[in-house]
Amino acid sequence: MEHFSRAGGCSGLEERYDLSQDPWELHNLAGDPAQQERLSDFRALLGRWIMDSNDQGRYPEPMRMFDSDMKVYVERVARKNPGQATRIKENISLMKKWRIEGK
């Protein structure tokens, strides 16, 4: 059985699929009690990788970054694709909300 697992970043949603039976990843097995031990193993592996690689994603972005650093990026995208810039602004608002909520 070929499996694929991933953690969902800010949302915290975990996913695990049996790719041999579910190649379109429609049936998330992460909630299956039979998968909990393996998911625990993956969490530990990810935690070690985060520390070993010094992944800065483990630290929340400072709120000022959303307004300062992202401004240049959004302005550049807006010149080429205003619709995409709008979606990026919406995502930034969501990330700010999650940051405030501690997610």
Any idea what the Cα angle at residue 99 is, between residues 95 and 103, rounded to 5°?
100
pLDDT in tens, 40-85: 998 899 899 999 999 887 777 788 887 888 888 899 999 999 999 9
Task: Provide the percentage of residues in the chain whose pLDDT is more than 90.
Answer: 28
Mean pLDDT for 87-93 is: 89
Mean pLDDT for 1-5 is: 56
Q: Determine the Cα–Cα distance for residues 9 and 46; give it in Å rounded to an integer.
A: 12
Q: Which residue type, as a one-letter code, is found at position 24? A: W
Q: Which residue type, as a one-letter code, is found at position 59? A: Y
| pLDDT beyond 70 at 10 | no
pTM, entire model = 0.51
Q: Determine the Cα–Cα distance for residues 5 and 37; give it in Å rounded to an integer.
A: 13
Tokens of 96: 């700010």
3-class state of residue 10 by DSSP: helix
Q: Determine the Cα–Cα distance for residues 78 and 103; give it in Å rounded to an integer.
A: 28
Q: What is the mean pLDDT of the chain?
A: 84
Helix 82-101 / helix 63-80 crossing angle, nearest 10 deg: 170
Tokens of 73: 């990026």
User: What ranges do the domains of the chain cover?
Assistant: 3-58, 63-101
